[in-house]
A and B are shown apart, each in its own frame.
Chain A
Amino acid sequence: MAALDRRHVFVVTLLALFALLPIAAQLADQPFYIGQFRRILIFAIAAISLDLILGYGGMVSLGHAAFFGIGAYVVGILNHHAAEETLFLGLLPGSRNVLITWPLAMLVAAASAGLIGLVSLRTSGIYFIMITLAFAQMVYFFFVSLSAYGGDDGLRFPGDTVIAGLIDTQDDIAFYYAVFAVLAGVLYLCQRMIESRFGLVIQGCRENERRMQAIGFPTFRYRLACFTIAGGIAGLAGALFAAHESYISPSIMHWTRSGDLIVMVVMGGMGSLIGPVVGATVFLLMEKLLPDYTEHWPVVFGPVLLLIVLFAKRGIFGWLRPREHRRAAP
């Protein structure tokens, strides 16, 4: 129970720091950090979603950025049509209302994950890694060739998205808190899910799928559901990212982006939900700050990641936990 309390304290402290960040940035007269950290929070959401399948489900997907990208494109394309006052496929009008665009981004990303999972989850191990990568590459090249929406160059769209008539995404601080609220919500819902019957089934499949089947679980449908949910949440993060950037391009779903997400999850501590938040923060801060010190920053970045993974087997978050509980961690 002590571990649980410490974990709670850690989560609450971290969220409180994120909540206070815009105020601190204002006081320090560095409003630039608000956008910077909004970006971090968005990737944290994507990393949490990857943790569901990677950390809890034991499914090493090297294609997760595809769902992030699909979510972003849904928002980008709808915004584009709204601005141009044209119809998507000559059928559907665009939209700037995030109550429409964000859920739709989630749905489309989840549906894509469902389809890709339907095929990929029949394999395991290295084959699963390769097949998720292959699907992600297909999605990537699909958007590269989608010249109507900028192809390789991507698509810039007017970033005057309004959230429920209340929050303007042009308002740096208001949008920051909207993203923060989404992160907190995702974190809580995922935590509940992980502790639910469904969550235990997912973790059981990671531990010993054969055993799960032997006691009567049709494991495939549960893993597929988990993969789909994770894809949906990644799509939501992508939607936020599109609104954050007012710009989408295929590069956000390049396979190296999927790799980055894996690094965030592993570095922060997989199978902990909060770990990936830490991982995303550290990863993106290093990516941002290291170039200020040396132009050879990738040479430093790699070894630092390696050291973290080697010396904190359960990631940064796992390293912060009391020793006797590390083994028992779910």
Chain B
Amino acid sequence: MQRPDALLEVHGLTKRFGGIVASDELSLAVPEGEIHAVIGPNGAGKTTLIAQLAGEIRPDAGTIRFAGADLTHLPMAARARRGLARSFQITSIFRGFTALDNVAMAIQAHDGHSFRFWARARSDPRLREPARAILAEVGLDGRADMIAANLSHGEQRQLEIAMALATRPRLLLLDEPMAGMGREESARMVELLRRLKGRETILIIEHDMDVVFALADRITVLVYGRAIATGRPDEIRANAEVRQAYLGEDDHA
């Protein structure tokens, strides 16, 4: 089942919080270029999975291989430098910085070390120009100089994606990018994700089934930390166990 050429290979991932099993012998593989959606009811362990992939939470057991290397014991920053980028379910940005500063910071993280004490970073075209380009890409070009805290919720979510993109990742981990968004904002985000499809490899957690079935190449269904099914959208739609465990609950939010 595991493809040898997969960019991300997770094997036997297990994580317990006291009595709760948040990841239960979880295995999945994401090949280069794929959009892989992870769905499952609230509390299924989706965010915990992403946190383990990103290096924020240590698994109790299991391995994470990325681009051929074992990442299981690497800290968060080191994984990010190898090309894993994460967006947070609960918006996590530099609220006191401008939108442009937020993205430029992410560019800077991947432009060598930052023990540079003299040159002014805010007038460094190596940081500012790519940051502006990425803001434009996510549709925030008009907001570059606004303080991030003053952006609308939807814009902050877009900024969250912009920061992840700015690290030029090999794999994007998106945790409910549309969480808390209005209809119009969601539509804009779907449009952005559609543009990223084919260009980026993405592991996305999303509740909106229309979006998932429209975007994903493959879907993994998580219930109580266990992957009960993985397959193409049509396979997942047809899977009886999935229908019963999850889809049957009808548009669970």
Contact = CB atoms under 8 A, between A and B. Distances in A.
Interface string A182-217: 000000000011011111110110011011111111
Contact of B77 (A196, A198, A218): A218
A122 interface: no
Contacts of B119: 196-197
A207 B97 contact: yes
Contacts, number: 101
Contact of B167 (A196, A215, A330): A215
Given A198-B115, A214-B86, A208 B147 contact: no
Q: Which of A198, A199, A217 has most B Cβ within 10 Å?
A: A217
A201 B106 CA distance: 10
Report the interface size class on chain A.
20 to 34
Interface string A286-330: 000000000000000000000000000000000000000001101
A321 to B, nearest CB: 15
A196 B95 contact: no
A216 B117 contact: no
Contacts of B124: 197
Q: Which of A193, A201, A216, A328 has most B Cβ within 10 Å?
A: A216
Contacts of B213: none
B54 A214 contact: yes
Contacts of B152: none
Contact of B117 (A192, A215, A327, A330): A192
A213 to B, nearest CB: 4
A196 B76 contact: no
Interface in B40-79: 54, 56, 75-78
Contacts of B98: 328
Interface of A: 192-193, 195-201, 203-204, 207-208, 210-219, 222, 225, 327-328, 330
16 contacts: A196-B117, A196-B118, A196-B119, A199-B121, A201-B114, A203-B97, A211-B92, A212-B77, A212-B109, A213-B75, A214-B54, A216-B106, A222-B114, A222-B115, A328-B98, A330-B96
Interface of B: 54, 56, 75-78, 80-81, 85-86, 88, 92-98, 101, 105-106, 108-110, 114-122, 124, 147, 163-164, 166-167
Q: Which 5 A-B pairs have the closest CB atoms?
A: A216-B80, A216-B109, A207-B94, A197-B116, A213-B76
